[in-house]
Structure 1
Amino acid sequence: MIETASLLMVASGAAHAVVNAVVKSGGDKMSSRALVDGSSALLVLPLAFVASLPSGAWGYLAGSLIVHLVYLVCLVKAFEAADMSAVYPVMRGTAPVISAVAAALWLRDPMTVPVAAGVLLVSLGTMVVAWWNPPSRKALGWALATGASIALYTVIDAKGVRAAPSAFSYFVWVFLALGGCIAVLFALWRGPRFIAEARSQWKPGLFAGALSLVTYGLALWAYRLGDVPRLAALRECSILFAVAIAFFFLKERISPGRALGAGLIAAGSAVLLAL
Structure 2
Amino acid sequence: MSFTNLLLILGSACLHVVAHIVLRGAANRSARVWWILAFGSILFAPMVFLRWQSPPLEGYLILLISGVFEVGYYFSIACAYHFAGMSVVYPLARGTAPALLLAWAMLLLGERPPLGGVGGIALIVLGLYVVNLPRLGAWLEPLQAVRRSGPRWALLAGVCISGYTVTDRFGLQYFDPLLYTVLKMWLASVGLLPLTVRQTGWSALKDELRVGWRGALAAGFTNIAAYAIVLYVMTLGAPASYAGAMREISVVLGAAVGVFWFKEAGAWPRMLGAGLVAAGVMMIKLFG
Scaled by the length of structure 1, what TM-score is found? 0.88
Question: Is 1:132 the equivalent of 2:139?
Answer: yes
| Counterpart for residue 235 of structure 1 | 247
Please give the alpha-carbon distance, in whole angstroms, between the structure 2 residues aligned to 1:126 and 1:97.
Answer: 11
For 1:12-161, what aligned pairs fall within 5 Å after superposition? Answer: 12-56=12-56, 57-81=59-83, 84=86, 87-128=89-130, 132=139, 134=141, 137=146, 138=148, 139-161=150-172
Q: CA RMSD in A?
A: 2.4
String of CA shifts for 1:20-73, please: whole Å, max 9, x gaps. Answer: 331232001111011100001111112222222351421111111111111001
Residue 250 of structure 1 deviates from its aligned partner by 3.9
Residue 85 of structure 1 deviates from its aligned partner by 5.6
CA gap 1:100/1:147 in 2 versus in 1, 3 angstroms: same
Selected match of 2:192 from 179, 182, 189: 182
Please give the alpha-carbon distance, in whole angstroms, between the structure 1 residues aligned to 2:112 and 2:72.
Answer: 28
String of CA shifts for 1:84-133, please: whole Å, max 9, x gaps. Answer: 46543432222111111101111112321111010111122244456527
Question: Is 1:208 the equivalent of 2:208?
Answer: no
Aligned length: 274
Question: Is 1:168 the equivalent of 2:178?
Answer: yes
Which 5+ residue runs of structure 1 have no aligned equivalent? none
What is the one-letter code of the residue matched to 1:155?
Answer: V
Q: Is the 8 A contact 2:105 2:166 kept in 1?
A: yes
Identity, % of aligned pairs?
28
Q: Is the 8 A contact 2:89 2:151 kept in 1?
A: yes
CA gap 1:176/1:265 in 2 versus in 1, 3 angstroms: same
Please give the alpha-carbon distance, in whole angstroms, between the structure 2 residues aligned to 1:247 and 1:123.
Answer: 21
Selected match of 1:266 from 278, 281, 285: 278
| Counterpart for residue 203 of structure 2 | 192
Residue 201 of structure 1 deviates from its aligned partner by 0.9
Which 5+ residue runs of structure 2 have no aligned equivalent? none
Scaled by the length of structure 2, what TM-score is found? 0.85
CA gap 1:153/1:223 in 2 versus in 1, 3 angstroms: same
String of CA shifts for 1:138-190, please: whole Å, max 9, x gaps. Answer: 443333222221111110112111x2143233233223322344346524652
CA gap 1:98/1:266 in 2 versus in 1, 3 angstroms: same
**More moved, 235-244 vs 76-85:** 76-85
What is the one-letter code of the residue matched to 1:39?
Answer: F
Residue 262 of structure 1 deviates from its aligned partner by 2.9
